[in-house]
Structures are given as C-alpha cells and as structure tokens.
Amino acid sequence: MRDYGKVSPQFWIGKTGKALRGNAEAQILALYLMTSPHANMIGVYHCPIAYMAHETGLPIEGASKALQSLIDADFCTFDADDEYVFVHQFALHQVGESLSTTDKRCKGVENELGKVPKNQCWQSFRARYAVPYNLPTSEAPSKPLASQKQKQKQKQNTAPSNGLDERFDAFWKAYPKKTAKDDARKAFDKRKPDAEMLDQMLSALAVQAGSTAWTKDGGQFIPNPATWLNGGRWQDGEALDFGVTGANPMLVGAI
C-alpha cells in the first residue's frame, strides 16, 4: 500500500476549495485526482479523461467540464496529447515544501519525473519543484509546448460541438481489439451515442472483455469494433451472448 494520497482538510477552505464551491463535479474530480490509484509521489501521472469519468462515475462531458474548471482554478495541468495530469500541490503535501541535497527522496522524485514524457506537465512540474527538490539541470522539452490556454482553445476550435470525438476516443481506448478504426468511427457516428449510452457501452465492455468467449485463444474471437457497434452488442446479456456462466466482471485495463 502506498503511503501517499493525503488530502488536507484545508482543501475546503483554501483558494481552490473556495473557487470550486457549488461545482460538485469539479470537487469530486479534485478529490479523485488527489487520491487516484494511478497517482505517484509527485502527482504527475497518466490519467485519460476516460479513466476520470469511469472511476468517478461522472459522464465523459461532466468529467471534461470538471477538468477544465480545475485547470482554470490552477489546481492542475492536463496534457491532452499524452493524457497526463499534473496536480500542482500534490508533491507539496506528499513530499514536502523542499528537500535537502542529502535527502534520498530527491532521487525518488527525479526517477518518477524521468518516467514522464517531456510535455506540458513535465515542464510545469520542473518550473515549480526543480529548485526545492534539487533536481539536476535537464535538457529542454523534446517538443514545443503550447500554453494550457492555447491547448484548450485549439481543442475547442477543432472538436465538434456534439462531443462525438471525445466519446469515440473513450470507446476506442476501452475496446480491446484495435482493428479498422475508420469503420468503427463510421459505425459509432451512426449510433450517435449520448453520455448515457456511452456509459452503457463501457460497462458492457468491462464485462464482455472478461468473458471466456473474448479471452480464449488470445482473444481471436473478439468481434471487430465496427461489428460490435453495428450489432448493438453492448445490449447483450453477460451469459446469453457468450454461452458461458459466471462471466468475469473485472474491468479491462483500458477503462
């Protein structure tokens, strides 16, 4: 069991807590990001919006809006390309305000940051903690980094207002067989699933991916995603469709 993931009671009366009052979805997401099972000691970790939605019970749109509220409140940075999040005060509470040069945790922080792609989150973490945690001088980020607001603006300008792009991305990440993506997108657009239908799809996939029919012989009998969508297969029963009983309800790793 890890020894980090502490949440201070001051959260509710601090700057961020005050900014989020009346925004229940943003409060839920903030608490999730501070205690996420995907987090590490520095608070810079891979966490797609699909994870946030599925593990908090929020719809995809709700999680996206809540995340934007947290970004606006300077609670976190999110790199949409690599799907990494940086919770700004995470390391402060889990590691400390600063470390001495002889503290072994300096190396631990350096090792954790070394696992992170050199994206917006990597850059933001170094800007805040490189000096107090005695991190070695490092090379510049490997790719040009737009500001957080620029990234959000670009995303808003390119994403359709109906949210289908975002929902399809969540579906595609969850589906265990990545085949014929263009065909899958056409089938997905035909269905035009709303947030509720997407949640039904993801829940069905969590069950079906653990079934005998989908796991035997290396998964060769998993239907193509377009076939699954066209057939409305998320409506299949756990056992009726697969001819097995006691289907494994374990979540797939992509959700």
Beta bridge partners of 76: 87
Which amino acid, one-letter code, is at 108?
G
What is the pLDDT, as a whole number, of residue 199? 86
Residue ranges of domains in the chain:
9-153, 161-235
What is the pLDDT, as a whole number, of residue 208? 86
What is the pLDDT, as a whole number, of residue 132? 92
Rounded distance between C-alpha atoms, residue 214 and residue 247, angstroms: 10
Rounded distance between C-alpha atoms, residue 24 and residue 18, angstroms: 12
What is the pLDDT, as a whole number, of residue 239? 37
The two three-digit tokens of residue 245, written as one number? 């009983």
What is the pLDDT, as a whole number, of residue 119? 92
What is the pLDDT, as a whole number, of residue 242? 39
| Topology at the third CATH level for domain 9-153 | Arc Repressor Mutant, subunit A (1.10.10)
What is the pLDDT, as a whole number, of residue 137? 76
Rounded distance between C-alpha atoms, residue 72 and residue 64, angstroms: 12
Whether this prediction's pTM lies above 0.85 is answered by no
Q: Which helix (H) or strand (E) holds 52?
A: helix 49-56
What is the pLDDT, as a whole number, of residue 223? 93
User: Which parts of the chain register pLDDT below 50?
Assistant: 1, 157-161, 238-255
